[in-house]
Amino acid sequence: MKFTHLNNAGEAYMVDVTAKTPTVREATAVGRVTASQAVMQALRDGTVPKGDVLAVARIAGISAAKRVPELLPLAHTIGVHGASVDLSLEEDHVAISATVRTADRTGVEMEALTAVTVAALAIIDMVKGVDRSAAIEECKIVAKSGGRSGDWKREE
C-alpha cells in the first residue's frame, strides 16, 4: 500500500494537485454525542444553561469546515462552496451529519469530518457542566462523490 502523503524516502509532503482539473466534489460524514437522559431532556426542552446548543454546534461545524488547512498540516486550501450540518435529538444521543461541497482539485472528506467533530465538540462544551460523561462516538465518512476515484458509499 502506498500512502499519498509520503515520498519515496517515507517523508511527509503535501501532494501537488496543480495539474488536476477542478471538479464538483461532495462528502458526507456522520457522528454522534451520547449524553445522559437529563441532558437529552434539557436539549429537547431548550433548558441547557449555556443556551441553544444545536444552533451553536451547527455554526461551529460550518465554520470548522472552512478552516481545515489551519488544523491539518498537509490539507490543501480549497474553496468550500457549500456546507451543511444537521443535528437531530435521538433517544440517547445527538446525531450529527455534515455535507460539504466544492468545485476544486481535491476532495472534501476532511472538511466533512472536521465539521462533524467540531460540532460534536461544541455540544460537549455546552453540556459538560451538566454531564461530564457526554462522549463523541462513531465519526466517519459515509459517502463521497466526484474526483478521479468517483462515487463511494459506506456499506453498513
Which residues in the chain come in under a pLDDT of 50?
none
Q: What was the pLDDT predicted at 95?
A: 98
Q: Which residues are catalytic?
A: 125
In this predicted model, what pLDDT tens digit does every residue of 26-58 receive, in sequence order? Answer: 999 999 999 999 999 999 999 999 999 999 999
What one-letter code names the amino acid at 119? Answer: A
Buried b (16+ CB within 10 A) or exposed e, 25-49: bbbbbbbbbbbeeebbebbeeeebe
Contact between 99 and 28 (Cβ < 8 Å):
yes
Q: What was the pLDDT predicted at 6?
A: 77
Q: What was the pLDDT predicted at 15?
A: 83
Q: What was the pLDDT predicted at 1?
A: 63
